[in-house]
Structure 1
């Protein structure tokens, strides 16, 4: 708990600044950095050495993908093709040292992870108020927090013991409850003090919170599944005892594209 509070004391103000007050270039830089670190963590997880060409090549492409998804999406296929071509050339050169799992992990790091992080920039560019960019974090972190306390105080029935032994059904329900509370508070605060009428339906916001909690838990369990397959406890140590980017932002990576899609339809 002390570690959670320490990370929150530093991370929450920084998050609010980057999302709500920082110039767009700062947000872009932060998202590029997160994408690059996430790529590093994933490649290390699947067994690619830090000094390997494939390691550096994947990290560079993951960073550039964030900007390309936003600034020049019509050229993303060029980047993907170039990544695949160079990666397989390197794999052929190494003659068996590079496995298919390494290549697939690299593709995930270059395509899926940057796509999720760049959604924040796309939403802002589409005219969505910056305050709404907090929703992926609110619904991811409150689902996680609700799940933590729900599991700690009421957890009895295992949710997915072969994937994440500590996760419980009661914790999952706690995550849903956390997002319901977060949805109501967010709607009330926005309508009362900041953007009157930005949330037209409390029921709609609650339903969004519930769906996001389900998606967030799938994201959490998905990255736990990868960790268990490769026998690691955490992806990294950027956030002290809470692990790395993929440990802290696993749910965010799944929730953010969903929020982007929903907001495109309800604006």
Structure 2
């Protein structure tokens, strides 16, 4: 617990700076986090082929590089490059490369690279992105904290015991309400101080938080399911007290695309 608290205290200022400043520092950190997350995932599913791993890491750098260039149509090019290279490797390395390995490779790229990229998309491409990007973390961390508090103190009915024995229905409801309340408070601050246009009413902020919490909790359960199936406790140990990158980002991976879609639709 002590290591967890110390790590959180150290990381919080870094997260605040990255979200506030955005631009190249945010892109570099997201690129690094994506590569580490893919490394953890490939270890979990035992994808040991170094050629496929290297190709995946190179594609991550290319994708964030295309994003930094500012022409977002290039992001489609990264997908085409990935498909062409992966199928080419499959053909020329057959039968050393299997369809199962390609499946793990493709899933990892979609699940980690293309979902995590939405943090940068919200921050850099949406109106008032400097403020909207906070919704991702308010929803994910707020939902997780509220669910934990309610679950520990009031939880009685197990939600998905086969995946996560400690999660309860009461905790899940608490997470939903907690995220809704925190998003509403965020909306009050945004409108009170004129940081953003009143493009979202306060009830809408509450609804955004509620559905965002559902996305966040599904992401958390997906991470739990993968750890159960691969029979690991944590994806890694790079973050003291928290485990690996994926152990911290599983809920954010689902929340980031959700916020991007909502913000894009409402503007």
Q: Which residue of 2 aligns with 1:30?
A: 29
Query: Conserved in 2, the CA contact under 8 Å of 1:87 and 1:103?
Result: no
Indicate whether 1:109 and 2:108 are aligned.
yes
Q: Which residue of 1 aligns with 2:182?
A: 182
- 1:211-250 to structure 2, matched below 5 A, reads 211-250=211-250
Indicate whether 1:48 and 2:47 are aligned.
yes
Moved more, 198-207 or 130-139: 198-207
Q: Name the structure, 1 or 2, with higher relative contact order (CA <8 Å, separation 6+).
A: 2
Query: Conserved in 2, the CA contact under 8 Å of 1:46 and 1:105?
Result: yes
State the SS of the aligned residue for 2:256. Answer: helix
Unaligned runs of 5+ in 1: none
Unaligned runs of 5+ in 2: none
Moved more, 234-243 or 55-64: 55-64
Q: What CA distance in whole angstroms lies between the structure 2 residues aligned with 1:168 and 1:37? A: 31
Q: What CA distance in whole angstroms lies between the structure 1 residues aligned with 2:30 and 2:220? A: 20
Query: Conserved in 2, the CA contact under 8 Å of 1:119 and 1:260?
Result: yes
Q: Which residue of 2 aligns with 1:73?
A: 75
- 1:1-267 to structure 2, matched below 5 A, reads 1-22=1-22, 24-49=23-48, 52-68=50-66, 70=72, 72-89=74-91, 92-94=94-96, 98-123=97-122, 124-195=124-195, 197-198=197-198, 200-267=200-267
Q: Cα distance 1:246–1:87, how it changes in 2: closer, same or farther (>3 A)? A: farther
Q: State the Cα RMSD in Å.
A: 2.1
Q: How far has the Cα of 1:90 moved from its partner?
A: 6.5
State the SS of the aligned residue for 1:41. Answer: helix
Q: What CA distance in whole angstroms lies between the structure 1 residues aligned with 2:78 and 2:196? A: 38
Q: Cα distance 1:194–1:236, how it changes in 2: closer, same or farther (>3 A)? A: farther
Structure 1 outlier segments of 4+, above 6 Å: none
Q: Cα distance 1:90–1:175, how it changes in 2: closer, same or farther (>3 A)? A: farther
Q: What CA distance in whole angstroms lies between the structure 1 residues aligned with 2:150 and 2:192? A: 30
TM-score for the superposition, normalised by structure 1? 0.90
Q: Cα distance 1:37–1:105, how it changes in 2: closer, same or farther (>3 A)? A: same
Q: How far has the Cα of 1:27 moved from its partner?
A: 1.1
State the SS of the aligned residue for 2:94. Answer: helix
State the SS of the aligned residue for 2:193. Answer: helix
Corresponding pairs, count: 262
Query: Conserved in 1, the CA contact under 8 Å of 2:4 and 2:240?
Result: no
Q: How far has the Cα of 1:136 moved from its partner?
A: 0.8
Q: How far has the Cα of 1:198 moved from its partner?
A: 3.9
